[in-house]
Structure 1
Amino acid sequence: MSIADHASSHHSVTESSHTEAEVTVDPAIEEKNIESPSAPPAKRYPETDLDKGIVGWDGQDDPANPQNFSTGKKWGLLMLVSAITFVSPLASSMFSPAVGYVGEDLGISSEILLAFSVSIYLLGYTCGPLLLAPLSEIYGRRIVLSCANWFLVIWQIGCALAPNIQTLIICRLFAGIGGSGPLTLGAGVIADLFPIEQRGLATAIWSLGPLIGPSVGPLAGGFMGETIGWRWIFWVLMILGGVVSLGIEFLNEETYASLLIRRKTLRLSKELNRSDLRSAYAPNQDIHISLRQTLKHGLRRPVILFIKSPIVALLSLYMAVVYGLLYLFFTTISDVFKNTYGWSTGISGLAYMGIGFGFIMGLAANAMTSDRIVKKLTARNGGKYEPEMRLPAMIFYACFVPASFFWYGWSADKAVFWIVPIIGMAPFGFGLMGLYLPIQIYVIDNYPAYAASANATLTTVRSFVGALLPLAGTPLFDSLGLGWGNSLLGFIALAFIPVPIIFSRFGQRIREKFPVDLD
């Protein structure tokens, strides 16, 4: 099925309760439904009607509409965004196994300060989305993504040349702000290009970077820090990021339908000398609205969504807890395999492949089942789709997360043969992917017109926790040891297993009770 991604400004983004007649004419409402093959053809995208002063697409098959791009073009654009989305989290973790060499080189003995130089990058992820997501819904995905990419690349130079720890921390912070761009805007690009029944696979591919990058990074960074020095980690990131950013600069194009129609409206208004024309995506909004008003309204969206949508706030907090557990997990891996098993810095990076393997298995499982499950649940629901149909799968995956903490923690604590703790990491990766993806797709499906802002809410909350929680890792494991320290995390994960059940049973009720108008 094809969908229209962007709501008219006079409609709420949660209008799933509208009548059948409205579904056939309003793109925002049609978004909430997956039609059966026998259903009559619906008017999926708003069309131009100059008699009424409305500017939309030139028919349902308008090739300028990103939803009508060829399959190859859609997946090609997604691959471009996915490539830089891999580089960004790679930069967050690639530096971590070499942090000891930084301490030696810059004369820093404080483990907390060195750990902060790693996690400060995630604080950039906390700040960046709140600015970049709304800007992409004002100026478009392409220009904002390009600027964020180059911002990430440029600050790698500052990291590589940093003469002291203070400069390194500041440069890492700004690099993180730039790196948050693809993590935030990818959700918007998926909403722009893909219909509901393809978003599970599209989101799985795009999510490879945020989840695989933190696993691959330590592997490469460990060997580089050990052989050619920690500064070369940043030079390599600069080169890799620069090559990908250059490719995006030449091959990427705008996909945000609301902006494309706004530009078309301005062009027709000038050509036809008509001041009454309005965009079909914002019929009640003056196309000549001031930049100040547009920015003020746009920059408030992620905050409004977090405050006024309890279901999004709860999902954000739940993801933040699991994400924080991931980074606490990462706190001990390198030291355990160096101190307990006598591995070198470079070889110890291989231990992260256990959790990386879990990520790949979870990704494959989600990619193969997510869209199929949604289609079946939609058919059972009389052909009507609800975003909460993405959430029941989380119940299954949540059960895998606690297992890793007990398995890895006690096998490492007792110095069991090295393969045992590595395998023990895999269930966490599998479970985390199964929790991350449904939540990610849920906000894209529920807020397609403002998917970037909705995703910014998720990214900001989880990154804030991910940045600060690892600072408690060293004191935690020093006090309790690997066995009981990881067991504590395992008990926390166990306590959160019922949460997905609550989301699945009451999510729709909560969403409909607290509708949010982001227009």
Structure 2
Amino acid sequence: MADEKRDGLHSEQQGISVRPATNENTASSDSDRTDDIERNTPPPTAEGEKVEHPDPNEVDWDGPDDPKNPRNWPRWRRAMLVGIITCVVFSTSIASSAIAPAVPQILREFHSTNEVVGTLVVTIELLGTGVGPILMGPMSEVVGRRVIYNCANIGFSAFSLGCALTPSLPGLVIMRFLQGCSASCSLNNAGGTISDLVPIHRRGFAMSMYSVGFLLGPAVGPIAGSFLAAAAGWRWNGTMGIICALTYSETYAPVILEWKAKKLRKQTGNQALYAKGQRQLPVSSVLKRAISRPVKMFLFCPVVTGLAIYNAVVYGFTYLLFSTFSVVFEGQYNFSEAKLGLVYLGLAIGFLISLSIASFANDRTHARLTRKHGEAKPEYRLDSLIYGAIAIPVGLIIYGWTTQERVHPAVPIVATGLVGFGVMFTFLVRSLPEIFFEACLLLCYPCVPQVWRRLAEEVLDSVRLSE
């Protein structure tokens, strides 16, 4: 039936249904309904189609211009929320690498010479980043994004403080893992927040802003972390993640509609009222669906599988690059511990330069292909991957050749900027539906960087032996 079709589409579109309470029209096709939902306009009625009355107990938006619909909020408010999420992602991403320049000092303080443990101190946070979404993502669909964000921010601050105060190396590893679990909330749910606020045809710039926070954090973290390690001791590194954004409005449409339904039940006394798409939907079903969904997409959707692996490998190359900096610039160019962090500026500048270029090219390509084919598809954003596929290997080749030939250190640093430029284009595929990002984060990102860091150690050890 028409209403059942709209309900199914409503669930897939994160509850952004804009049928007015008095509207009895139905959609004429799936593509029309999808386009109407993206634009927040009611779908047309197909000529001759049977019109059925909606359930009077169903609570929906008060028309296409309902001010409580997150996509109808003022532009400044939506931009502010995207900025807040970007800042949270940036501050939590810093924690993944800020401790890296201080690893030798940590090992000395705890009287350890085990380099594997030193690597584990850095990479265990990434493992937590992959474990956290198993719970964080599904719960945000049950209680709302705001509650999960605030709980995760408090946990992140607490575990960051634990990193600073721990008296043992095993305790530091445990705190780093729990810190990563808390940080995963902003990394995993940010894509959903942007989807709540921004239609897909305008999502390129918003996702590029988020990607800057996600990618710039690990690049900037060692810059600040290295100076703190040299001046105030490594324990102060853990305090960098304490600054968390708490000013956040709920954006998840089903939760907002549920609040509206509760208010109406209280005002009218009608306990049969329910939010659209939420009838007979127990928490266990929501959790089961949210946990199994990314796994199924990764296993049975070749596009998602390929893109997830490609993104994870690129992410691994980024961390592989991080792993070479201390050996190359401390051992070969005699950089001090404090100056070593400045090497990461090349990546940071590359990210920033590509911010406007990548988002503009991505949105323009999406708009051009939409006009050409008459419909909007997330896959239209994949064309921009070619720029990253060219820039990343070129930057890595220049970096490897110039360091091997002991060229002036400015040249390999510029080459890292070219890598950063290409990485931004790669990560803009997160403008695809949230499910793709869940598959990447949950199944690939925690594993690949760890493998590549270990690979980097083996390669660098062989290079040292051959010299």
Q: Normalising by structure 1, report the TM-score.
A: 0.79
Q: Is the 8 A contact 2:91 2:240 kept in 1?
A: no
- In the TM superposition, what are the counterparts of 1:56-67 in structure 2 within 5 Å? 56-67=60-71
CA distance in 1, matches of 2:465, 2:342: 19
CA distance in 2, matches of 1:55, 1:20: 19
The structure 2 residue matched to 1:261, chosen from 257, 260, 266, is 257
SS in 2 for 1:9: helix
Query: Structure 1 residues 308, 275: closer, same or farther in 2, change over 3 A?
Result: farther
Q: Is the 8 A contact 2:138 2:286 kept in 1?
A: no
Kindly state the Cα deviation for residue 330 of structure 1 after the two structures are TM-superposed.
0.7
CA distance in 2, matches of 1:405, 1:298: 37
Q: Which residue of 2 aligns with 1:352?
A: 344
The structure 2 residue matched to 1:394, chosen from 375, 378, 385, is 385
Superposed CA offset, 1:349-390 (max 9, x none): 1111112221112222112222122112111112x1111110
Q: Is the 8 A contact 1:410 1:482 kept in 2?
A: no
Q: Bigger shift: 110-119 or 273-282?
A: 273-282
Q: Is the 8 A contact 2:57 2:272 kept in 1?
A: yes
CA distance in 2, matches of 1:274, 1:306: 43
Q: Quick check: 1:459 aligned with 2:441?
A: yes
Q: Which residue of 1 aligns with 2:83?
A: 79
Q: Quick check: 1:148 aligned with 2:152?
A: yes
The one-letter amino acid of 1:320's match is A
Q: Is the 8 A contact 2:208 2:355 kept in 1?
A: yes
The structure 1 residue matched to 2:456, chosen from 459, 469, 473, is 473
Q: Is the 8 A contact 2:42 2:64 kept in 1?
A: no
The one-letter amino acid of 2:165's match is L
The structure 2 residue matched to 1:365, chosen from 357, 365, 386, is 357
Higher relative CO (Cα under 8 Å, sequence separation at least 6) belongs to: 1
- In the TM superposition, what are the counterparts of 1:424-439 in structure 2 within 5 Å? 424-437=415-428, 439=429
Query: Structure 1 residues 10, 219: closer, same or farther in 2, change over 3 A?
Result: closer
Q: Which residue of 2 aligns with 1:491?
A: none
The one-letter amino acid of 1:441's match is S
CA distance in 2, matches of 1:365, 1:98: 34
Kindly state the Cα deviation for residue 20 of structure 1 after the two structures are TM-superposed.
7.2
CA distance in 2, matches of 1:378, 1:454: 21
CA distance in 1, matches of 2:331, 2:463: 17
- In the TM superposition, what are the counterparts of 1:82-161 in structure 2 within 5 Å? 82-161=86-165
The one-letter amino acid of 2:296's match is I
Q: Which residue of 1 aligns with 2:191?
A: 187
CA distance in 2, matches of 1:50, 1:211: 46
The one-letter amino acid of 2:462's match is S
The one-letter amino acid of 1:229's match is G
CA distance in 2, matches of 1:30, 1:304: 28
SS in 2 for 1:207: helix
SS in 1 for 2:178: helix
Q: Is the 8 A contact 1:222 1:348 kept in 2?
A: yes
Kindly state the Cα deviation for residue 277 of structure 1 after the two structures are TM-superposed.
3.9
Kindly state the Cα deviation for residue 225 of structure 1 after the two structures are TM-superposed.
0.6
Q: What is the identity percentage for the equivalent residue pairs of Structure 1 and Structure 2? A: 32
The structure 1 residue matched to 2:411, chosen from 396, 417, 420, is 420
CA distance in 1, matches of 2:62, 2:99: 50
Kindly state the Cα deviation for residue 263 of structure 1 after the two structures are TM-superposed.
2.8
SS in 1 for 2:335: coil
Superposed CA offset, 1:411-433 (max 9, x none): 11221111111111122111111
The structure 2 residue matched to 1:379, chosen from 362, 371, 380, is 371
Aligned Cα RMSD in Å?
Answer: 2.6
Superposed CA offset, 1:385-417 (max 9, x none): 111110011112211111122211121122111
The one-letter amino acid of 1:370's match is N
Q: Which residue of 1 aligns with 2:18?
A: none
SS in 1 for 2:167: coil
Superposed CA offset, 1:150-199 (max 9, x none): 11110011111121211100000000000111111111110111112321
Q: Which residue of 1 aligns with 2:431?
A: 441
Q: How many equivalent residue pairs? A: 442
Q: Which residue of 1 aligns with 2:50?
A: none
Q: Quick check: 1:340 aligned with 2:332?
A: yes
The one-letter amino acid of 1:90's match is I
CA distance in 2, matches of 1:7, 1:66: 20
- In the TM superposition, what are the counterparts of 1:126-275 in structure 2 within 5 Å? 126-238=130-242, 241=243, 244-245=244-245, 248=246, 251-269=247-265, 271-274=267-270
Superposed CA offset, 1:317-376 (max 9, x none): 111111111111110112211111111011011111112221112222112222122112
Kindly state the Cα deviation for residue 275 of structure 1 after the two structures are TM-superposed.
5.4
Q: Which residue of 2 aligns with 1:30?
A: 36
Query: Structure 1 residues 294, 267: closer, same or farther in 2, change over 3 A?
Result: farther
Q: Which residue of 2 aligns with 1:318?
A: 310
Query: Structure 1 residues 59, 431: closer, same or farther in 2, change over 3 A?
Result: same
The structure 2 residue matched to 1:280, chosen from 272, 276, 281, is 276
Superposed CA offset, 1:85-136 (max 9, x none): 0011101111101111001111111111101100100001110112111111
CA distance in 2, matches of 1:134, 1:153: 22
Q: Which residue of 1 aligns with 2:8?
A: 9
Kindly state the Cα deviation for residue 296 of structure 1 after the two structures are TM-superposed.
3.1
SS in 2 for 1:107: coil
Superposed CA offset, 1:46-104 (max 9, x none): xxx77543221011111111111001111111111111100111011111011110011
Query: Structure 1 residues 307, 108: closer, same or farther in 2, change over 3 A?
Result: same
Q: Is the 8 A contact 1:407 1:424 kept in 2?
A: yes
CA distance in 1, matches of 2:379, 2:145: 27
**Structure 1: runs of 5 or more not aligned:** 1-5, 36-40, 445-450, 485-519
Q: Is the 8 A contact 2:61 2:69 kept in 1?
A: yes
Kindly state the Cα deviation for residue 468 of structure 1 after the two structures are TM-superposed.
3.5
Q: Bigger shift: 270-279 or 255-264?
A: 270-279
SS in 2 for 1:255: coil
Q: Normalising by structure 2, report the TM-score.
A: 0.88
Q: Is the 8 A contact 2:188 2:441 kept in 1?
A: yes
SS in 2 for 1:462: coil
SS in 2 for 1:254: coil
Query: Structure 1 residues 24, 463: closer, same or farther in 2, change over 3 A?
Result: closer
The one-letter amino acid of 1:440's match is R
